[in-house]
């Protein structure tokens, strides 16, 4: 086809996105700079966007579930009892809270909570841990996270109950866990990058040591060859004549003794 590679062309390794790194674009070297905070900010920004998208999906699902339960409660009996009236009113309040829930503020709140947990070496907070209400300060922060509109429409308690259910949705937890893994990985990659110079220096020293050992071995072999050559040269005709003269002297001495 038109886009098919030419026969005999060299195979080109592609990157994770199916594209090669441009030759004109210089790769960034993070080995000398600590860019952990910068990279974490980028990961946090993208992770919060994904969490907000999941929160919108979970909010829609929660609203439909509450609406279905309210319809079933209304059609349960033709003459509703006081208990049914209370239940219907409660569901109506929760439905108003779900529709008014501020997913942007809630996503940013959960993202910051996840970042703090990663910095402490802990897991991402659960739905209840992300929106606590044990004291006034925590209740105020949690109310701000769910949004003033939700608190106004349903009250603080109902708004927090609905928000926790939305946060506990599987799609939201999946994005929160993914953000946690990315934030934790940033620090590991930075430590690896900062140690690259030390690893390169260690490899350079190892190569120099290996080169020095090979050079010493070559010099030793050269000395042995020269020594062997010197011993061979000393065994020439002159050395043989000297040995013959020694033998003749020994023979003359024996004849004199006789």
Quickly list DSSP for 157-212.
Answer: HHHHHHHHHHHTSHHHHHHHHHHHHHHHHHHHHHHHHHTHHHHHHHHHHHHHHHHH
Q: Are 128 and 185 in contact (CB under 8 A)?
A: no
pLDDT (tens digit per residue) in 68-114: 888 887 777 555 555 555 577 888 899 999 999 999 999 999 999 99
% of the chain beyond a pLDDT of 90: 38
Q: Are 120 and 184 in contact (CB under 8 A)?
A: no
Residue 17 is classified by DSSP as T
Of the listed ranges 42-51, 170-179, 196-205, 245-254, the one predicted with least confidence:
245-254
Domain boundaries along the sequence of the chain: 36-194, 202-247
Averaged pLDDT, 224-247: 64
pTM of the model: 0.60
Which structure tokens are listed for 61? 């699902």
């Amino acid at each position: 086809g038109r886009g098919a590679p030419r026969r005999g062309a060299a195979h080109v390794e592609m990157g994770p996105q199916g594209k090669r790194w441009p030759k004109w674009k210089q790769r960034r070297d993070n080995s000398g700079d600590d860019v952990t905070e910068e990279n974490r900010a980028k990961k946090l920004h993208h992770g919060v966007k994904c969490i907000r998208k999941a929160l919108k999906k979970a909010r829609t699902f929660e609203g439909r579930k509450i609406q279905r339960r309210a319809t079933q409660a209304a059609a349960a009996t033709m003459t509703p009892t006081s208990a049914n009236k209370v239940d219907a009113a409660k569901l109506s309040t929760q439905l108003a809270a779900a529709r008014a829930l501020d997913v942007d503020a809630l996503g940013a709140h959960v993202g910051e909570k996840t970042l703090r947990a990663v910095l402490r070496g802990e897991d991402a907070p659960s739905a209840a841990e992300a929106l606590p209400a044990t004291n006034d300060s925590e209740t105020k922060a949690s109310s701000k996270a769910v949004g003033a509109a939700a608190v106004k429409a349903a009250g603080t308690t109902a708004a927090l109950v609905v928000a926790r259910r939305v946060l506990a949705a599987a799609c939201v937890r999946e994005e929160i866990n993914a953000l946690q893994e990315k934030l934790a990985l940033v620090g590991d990659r930075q430590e690896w990058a900062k140690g690259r110079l030390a690893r390169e220096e260690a490899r350079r020293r190892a190569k120099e040591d290996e080169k020095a050992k090979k050079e010493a071995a070559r010099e030793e072999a050269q000395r042995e060859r020269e020594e062997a050559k010197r011993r061979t040269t000393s065994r020439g005709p002159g050395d043989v004549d000297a040995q013959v003269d020694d033998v003749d002297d020994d023979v003359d001495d024996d004849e004199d003794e006789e």
